[in-house]
A and B are shown apart, each in its own frame.
Chain A
Amino acid sequence: MKTFTYTKAQSPEAAVAEAGEGVRFIAGGTNLLDLMKLQVMTPDKLVDISRLDLGRIEQREDGGLTIGALVPNSDLAADRRVIDGYPVLSRALLAGASGQLRNKASTGGNLLQRTRCYYFYDTATACNKREPGSGCAAIGGFNRIHAILGASDKCIATHPSDMAVAMRALDATVVTLKGDGDRRRISIHDFYRLPGDTPEIENVLEPGELITHVELPGPPQGEQLYRKVRDRASYAFALVSVAGVVKVEDGKIASAALAFGGLAHLPWRDFEMEAMLVGQAPSTALFEAAADKLLAGARGHGSNDFKIPLARRTLIACLRDLTGV
């Protein structure tokens, strides 16, 4: 890696005060250090936030949970309140990475994982995300793990997180602290960006803005599941994943939240598709129509064409599981 300076922050306020051009926060480092070793990311300075007091999970009066940004993935997955109230989140966490990585990886860091695009990881190749303007080697190359929704001609990378997919289905809110001391509460639906012409910008965080917490609303009603389709049984990123929360009442779908991993530059959610489901009696025909809606704009890039039928089948199977059809 390139030489960098390193400081330990004593408080969130001190951490953001240190931030600036070329500065990165480091918590678990499970992704950042790999990228630094390969010189895909070359920060001048690391501000270590791992000792800040952001490691607790607290129940709020409104019934929701406030999760400190430094809560390790393992702890979050094993928390009784998460297992009982948000099993989709616990299962998504446990579907990710390996035990060792989950022990080290933080909640905030997980949201900010970089893509696993092979070409992004290799400085010998063109990548607009790594080096804006250099081109996209994945387009026309090997793109088995790449996006079928929301991609651009600049970037077809996917977001690799499992946790973030569940967070999106759960309508999480990302709480941040900015350099000027202001706090922001950002809906996870507004947090991530599609690649467009600037795939290097992956979310709406401003330079130096620190994630301090993630808030979950009260436990949702209905059935929850997380299904991850992957090439091997563990330690593989999702080809397609579905986080689903669906409530059936009086034979009709009362509410539905469905988020998808492996399909796009961000954890995907299609509110129009969900609206199609609500108020309807669950049926295979309905689910097929929902899948058609989800994938209406889907486009394969060669090696990932299979994701379109795979996503369709997986969604339908998940909806049948969630509704008992």
Chain B
Amino acid sequence: MLGLGDKHTNSLTMDQPVPSSLLDTGAQNIISKPLPRYEGAKKVSGTARYSAEFTAENMAYGVLVGVGHGSGTVTGVDADAIRGLPGVIDVVTDFKSFLRNAGQGGETKAPTQGVEEVAYFGQFVAIVLGETYEAARGAALQLPLTVEPAEGRFDFDALKGETDTPPPNNIPAHYTQGDLDRAMAEAPLTFDATYTTPSQNSAAMEPHASLAYWDEGKLTIYGSYQIPTKDAIALAKALGVSQKNVRIVAEYVGGGFGSKLGISPESAAAAIASRQLGRPIKCVMLRQQVFDGTVRRSNTEQRVRLAAEADGTLVGIGHETLCANLPDEDFFEPAGIGTHSLYKGEHRVITHDLVRVNLTLSGSMRAPGEAVGMLAIESAMDEFAEQLGIDPIELRRRNDPDKDPEKGVPFSSRQLTRCLEVGAERFGWSKRQPKATRRDGEWWVGLGVAAATRNNLLEKNAAKARLNAAGHLFVETAMTDIGTGSYTVLAQIAGEVMGLPFERITVKLGDSESPESSGSGGSWGACGSGSAVYLACEEIRNQLAKKLGVDPDAMTLKDGMAIAENRSTPIGDLAGEGIEATGEINPGKQKDAVTQASYGAHFAEVAVNAVTGEVRVRRMLGVFAAGRILNRQTARSQCLGGLTFGIGAALTEELIHDVRNGKAVNHDLAEYHVPVNADVPQLEIEFLEERDVHSNPLHAKGIGELGISGAGAAIANAVYNACGVRVRDFPLTLDKILPHLPADLPSA
């Protein structure tokens, strides 16, 4: 996007609120509208190219080889055994440089390297290269590896007595306020229960894939990644090359859900093999390899303690989590993150400790923390309401704090109770019956509710915008669109600020050489990259006003025309040789001055079969408040996906590891049960009107992960209301419900 003309910069650090937004005063009237996807036609016509669909001249195919032991030392790779096979080019191993595991989200350091020592079952130790994918795959499955096995740590339950406290990640591992033990001893009402959640895998539809090639010492990777800016830096470090010599292109990504935040092992293997062979190498993971060797969400064991006054007002809240990771990896599943600011209670203990295991890396999966933490805390609130004999919505209302219960600062915006009330009305909550009283044939039917919260994050982001003489706007940032609608909402933001219709805006994403972006992840993508685009466009707008000689506030931009002082001028005419601006947003003091989070309420109606214990969700409603909604359709789709994830978390998803050797047992989509269409009933989504002036100039907050946070708990609570069986061990598969069902079967 090089060009002549003026170049400007507009930088904003969020040190104070931004009281007004051009998105409210814009005349184009496209922001928030449910516009169809900017790239939709390309996707439905198959012309949107994903990483594995790129090819290069003289390209060869690489297939990774995972080790069939959970612990030990690789002592041999018998390349000669497969070198003679038809179409096989070579076997490449680099025990020192291969990535032992995927990178953590948002990191710019190289992931752990070195694959001679086996840290987990399936760890990749070689890449087989072939002239065809089939030749490489066939040979990869036949490559003999010799391993000196060693004792491994595979059984979480057996090892959970040995823990250590990890360093902080986005929250401290341990937080204590007041004296919870005393509160538990003295309060008139207390609750103490432990919940467990299993290992999970993001199971994105598109497997991890990289096409790598070198050109005069510079590496280009067409890779399926969420954060090209940081991923390129991490990959450069892993390969020992200069950062300017690594470029990652991720124009379209077929879902990531955290598993593509950091680089995964196929990228470095393809790059190393390409450098060695002198040919482009494409490496696409097999589905089983995605489960074995990318990243998982850790299983958790969460103890929740609640202490309350007689009216249910909390005086103490405890949320203590055990989770797992590799012996030398410090990421912990921050299950207590939502608990920090969700409810009242002056006595607080929120802790996380790690059990060290030889299992695939634990890292961020959609809504790390809240997704599984709220299964526990929101089940506990439901149980506590039952114990108190009050409505679970009323219990939450009584405990909705008016300021952050730990930091003492105000909330930037918070409509938790309003979401619960609006949802209750719309869902028909008043028709909820006592537990195990509503029947439909041989099905028990019940309703459940849970709160939703997801903390709002802002990361540094930059974007470039350029208006040309034809009045066309080009927008560019290293943001990605992982199926979320980034292209669409960025075009809407630019269009609203610049007064341009969609067709006069071109958005380029997914290139690490574009202005830096925090990418997609943590629900920060739209707000971060969107703010940068906003600021770039604001600057161009200011320049247009200057050229017209008017105050920017006295100018209206609409349909490509600048209207001021009763004159209407095509903005392309004002652009001359082009106006280019870089927008840059930085987190600032607002981060600590207010507590920022999105909120919502989940409602679920489920049926539990009185014969078999099968659970089927009948309908769900999610009511959310997340600041300005940038596109009601893509936001709704995100929430639908979140609720669907919630169904999986509540009822079906569980990655099983064999405790004898750490092998992922059910590592395919036939046996790792994500919800299928038949499991997903009518889902309704409603957004409450909201502006958050503290968050960013868009007045928006993150929404991508809000939909999953709490969704599964609403289902579990509905199961309890339906049949009176409380299962604290997720997912709620029928075998856990069955033993508690009445022995007498319903009559035909």
* Distance in Å: Cβ of B682 to nearest Cβ of chain A: 14
| A231 contacts across to B, CB distance below 8 A | 652, 673, 733-734
CB <8 Å contact, A140 and B660: yes
Contact with B along A212-254 (1 / 0, CB 8 A): 0000000000000000011111111101100000000000000
CA distance A234 to B665 in the complex (A): 21
CB <8 Å contact, B614 and A229: yes
Q: Please judge, given known A-B contacts A1-B134, A124-B663, A317-B611, whether A234 and B676 are in contact too, CB under 8 Å.
A: yes
| B651 contacts across to A, CB distance below 8 A | 232
A37 contacts B by Cβ under 8 Å: yes
Interface centre among A137, A237, A240 (most CB of B within 10 A): A137
Kindly identify, within residues 577 to 622 of chain B, every residue whose CB is under 8 Å from any CB belonging to chain A.
611-614, 616
| B68 contacts across to A, CB distance below 8 A | 124-125
CA distance A240 to B442 in the complex (A): 17
Contact with A along B110-154 (1 / 0, CB 8 A): 000000000001000000000000100110011000000000000
CB <8 Å contact, B673 and A232: yes
| B2 contacts across to A, CB distance below 8 A | none
| A2 contacts across to B, CB distance below 8 A | 138, 142
Kindly identify, within residues 9 to 55 of chain A, every residue whose CB is under 8 Å from any CB belonging to chain B.
37-39
CA distance A316 to B748 in the complex (A): 10
Binds B, one of A82-90, A115-123, A184-192: A115-123
| A5 contacts across to B, CB distance below 8 A | none
Interface centre among A38, A118, A119, A324 (most CB of B within 10 A): A118
CB <8 Å contact, B679 and A233: yes
Kindly identify, within residues 255 to 312 of chain B, every residue whose CB is under 8 Å from any CB belonging to chain A.
288
* Distance in Å: Cβ of B579 to nearest Cβ of chain A: 52
CB <8 Å contact, A142 and B658: yes
CA distance A295 to B560 in the complex (A): 77
B170 contacts A by Cβ under 8 Å: no
Binds B, one of A68-76, A203-211, A268-276, A307-315: A307-315
Q: Please judge, given known A-B contacts A1-B138, A313-B612, A320-B748, whether A236 and B673 are in contact too, CB under 8 Å.
A: yes
| A123 contacts across to B, CB distance below 8 A | 141
CB <8 Å contact, B673 and A310: no
| A6 contacts across to B, CB distance below 8 A | none
* Distance in Å: Cβ of A25 to nearest Cβ of chain B: 21
A292 contacts B by Cβ under 8 Å: no
* Distance in Å: Cβ of B254 to nearest Cβ of chain A: 19
CB <8 Å contact, B612 and A141: no
| A285 contacts across to B, CB distance below 8 A | none
CB <8 Å contact, B677 and A234: yes
| B735 contacts across to A, CB distance below 8 A | 144, 306, 310
| B747 contacts across to A, CB distance below 8 A | 320, 325
| A125 contacts across to B, CB distance below 8 A | 68, 663
Interface centre among A2, A119, A316 (most CB of B within 10 A): A2
Contact of B612 (CB < 8 Å), options: A140, A144, A310, A320? A310
Interface size class of A (residues with CB under 8 A): 35 or more
CB <8 Å contact, A229 and B670: no
B483 contacts A by Cβ under 8 Å: no
A321 contacts B by Cβ under 8 Å: yes
Q: Please judge, given known A-B contacts A306-B738, A310-B612, A310-B735, whether A38 and B141 are in contact too, CB under 8 Å.
A: yes
CB <8 Å contact, B745 and A316: yes
Closest residue of B by beta carbon distance from A233: B678
Contact of A317 (CB < 8 Å), options: B442, B671, B676, B677? B442
**Residues of B within 8 A of A (CB-CB), count:** 43
Interface centre among A2, A116, A239, A313 (most CB of B within 10 A): A313
* Distance in Å: Cβ of B521 to nearest Cβ of chain A: 28
| A229 contacts across to B, CB distance below 8 A | 612, 614, 734
CA distance A233 to B614 in the complex (A): 9
| A316 contacts across to B, CB distance below 8 A | 745
CB <8 Å contact, A3 and B656: no
Interface centre among B134, B652, B745 (most CB of A within 10 A): B745
CB <8 Å contact, A39 and B734: no
Q: Please judge, given known A-B contacts A118-B665, A314-B612, whether A1 and B734 are in contact too, CB under 8 Å.
A: no
Contact with B along A91-133 (1 / 0, CB 8 A): 0000000100000000000000000101101111100000000
* Distance in Å: Cβ of A113 to nearest Cβ of chain B: 12
| A240 contacts across to B, CB distance below 8 A | 612
Q: Please judge, given known A-B contacts A3-B86, A320-B745, A320-B747, whether A116 and B671 are in contact too, CB under 8 Å.
A: yes
Interface centre among A122, A232, A240, A320 (most CB of B within 10 A): A232
* Distance in Å: Cβ of A6 to nearest Cβ of chain B: 13
CB <8 Å contact, A232 and B612: no
B675 contacts A by Cβ under 8 Å: yes
B666 contacts A by Cβ under 8 Å: yes
CA distance A98 to B676 in the complex (A): 10
CA distance A140 to B661 in the complex (A): 12
CA distance A321 to B745 in the complex (A): 12
| A38 contacts across to B, CB distance below 8 A | 141, 288
CA distance A145 to B660 in the complex (A): 18
* Distance in Å: Cβ of A121 to nearest Cβ of chain B: 8
| B665 contacts across to A, CB distance below 8 A | 118-119, 141-142
| A116 contacts across to B, CB distance below 8 A | 670-671
CB <8 Å contact, A232 and B734: no
| A230 contacts across to B, CB distance below 8 A | 614
CB <8 Å contact, A317 and B679: no
| B733 contacts across to A, CB distance below 8 A | 231
B739 contacts A by Cβ under 8 Å: yes
Closest residue of A by beta carbon distance from B656: A142
Contact with A along B40-70 (1 / 0, CB 8 A): 0000000000000000000000000000100
* Distance in Å: Cβ of A263 to nearest Cβ of chain B: 14
| A119 contacts across to B, CB distance below 8 A | 665
Kindly identify, within residues 652 to 700 of chain B, every residue whose CB is under 8 Å from any CB belonging to chain A.
652, 656, 658, 660, 663, 665-668, 670-671, 673, 675-679
* Distance in Å: Cβ of B748 to nearest Cβ of chain A: 4
CA distance A97 to B658 in the complex (A): 26
Kindly identify, within residues 287 to 325 of chain A, every residue whose CB is under 8 Å from any CB belonging to chain B.
306, 309-310, 313-314, 316-317, 320-321, 323-325
CB <8 Å contact, B748 and A325: yes
| A1 contacts across to B, CB distance below 8 A | 134, 137-138
Closest residue of B by beta carbon distance from A2: B138
Closest residue of B by beta carbon distance from A288: B745
CA distance A125 to B666 in the complex (A): 13
Closest residue of B by beta carbon distance from A324: B748
CB <8 Å contact, B658 and A232: no
* Distance in Å: Cβ of A111 to nearest Cβ of chain B: 19
* Distance in Å: Cβ of A29 to nearest Cβ of chain B: 15
CA distance A325 to B745 in the complex (A): 11
For this complex, 25 residue pairs linking A to B, each with C-beta atoms less than 8 Å apart, are A1-B138, A2-B138, A2-B142, A37-B137, A38-B141, A39-B141, A39-B142, A116-B671, A122-B288, A124-B121, A141-B658, A141-B665, A145-B671, A231-B734, A232-B678, A233-B616, A233-B676, A234-B678, A234-B679, A235-B676, A309-B738, A309-B739, A317-B442, A317-B612, A325-B747
The 6 lowest CB-CB distance pairs between A and B, nearest first, are A124-B68, A306-B735, A233-B678, A234-B678, A317-B611, A320-B748
Given contacts A122-B288, A137-B658, A317-B611, 6 further A-B contacts (CB under 8 A): A2-B138, A118-B666, A122-B667, A237-B670, A240-B612, A317-B612
